[in-house]
Structure 1
């Protein structure tokens, strides 16, 4: 199973300043999960901690958070995250 996973996995590398979308499947009370997109963003990559963890910041004054690369997706322009 590990060999199959490793064959299909791709190495993703983000640089400082790249725009990314963050996967957050949590839903709020009163909102339908079918209509809400689980992707938030765009966020900015602040720094790379390791090959699989990145520090990102949503807005200018927001606190940066450390997330795993599996929860990130490359932002390509307006309308991609929402």
Structure 2
């Protein structure tokens, strides 16, 4: 959220932080349908008008306060239930398209490596390095990989333990027919 408001040279983020924090804490969240402020304090936050025209209620033996406290607890319970429902729906959507992947020692893979270099666009750099060889399977989602060839590239370590989500299968390039070996197309004697 902060990245939308900072200057181009990223020097004013600290002065914007209180405003962005207030905006986040008072925004109604799509999962809970409540703002974080309301869930913590049981009321909506004070606005500028509330500070100009204050209204200080008498809280001693106030039935309204007791009702507000019970409403706050109800809101928290509703938020908890909605969070569980949203998590279940997200898991269901994920499970519909997820295909588990497993590799065996000796398989060749590409390794996703995020690259951030000063002066270079991240979008134009190679994200996958490789090929790597799977040397060991630690669990269903963790593998130890080793580069197939040694390289001067400091991003390619000798061995690395990685999550399966950072791997994709490596397929060697298919041999393309050489232009010199191809026969010229036949014109059937006509030009």
- TM-score normalised to the size of structure 1? 0.83
What corresponds to 1:23 in structure 2?
A: 112
1:11 to 89, 94, 100: 100
User: Which sections of structure 2, spanning at least 5 residues, go unmatched?
Assistant: 1-89, 151-156, 174-191
Q: Deviations over 1:30-67 (max 9, x none)?
A: 32223212111100000100100000011466531110
Kindly report the root-mean-square deviation, in angstroms, between the aligned alpha carbons of the 2 structures: 1.6
Point out the structure with the larger helix share.
Answer: 2
Paired positions, count: 78
Greater mean deviation of Cα atoms: 66-75 or 26-35: 26-35
CA distance in 2, matches of 1:26, 1:35: 10
Radius of gyration: which is bigger?
2
User: Which sections of structure 1, spanning at least 5 residues, go unmatched?
Assistant: none
| Higher RCO by CA contacts (8 Å cutoff, separation 6 or greater) | 1
Greater mean deviation of Cα atoms: 61-70 or 8-17: 61-70
Greater mean deviation of Cα atoms: 2-11 or 49-58: 2-11
SS in 1 for 2:165: helix
What corresponds to 2:164 in structure 1?
A: 69
- TM-score normalised to the size of structure 2? 0.38
CA distance in 2, matches of 1:32, 1:57: 27
CA distance in 2, matches of 1:40, 1:29: 19
Point out the structure with the larger strand share.
Answer: 1
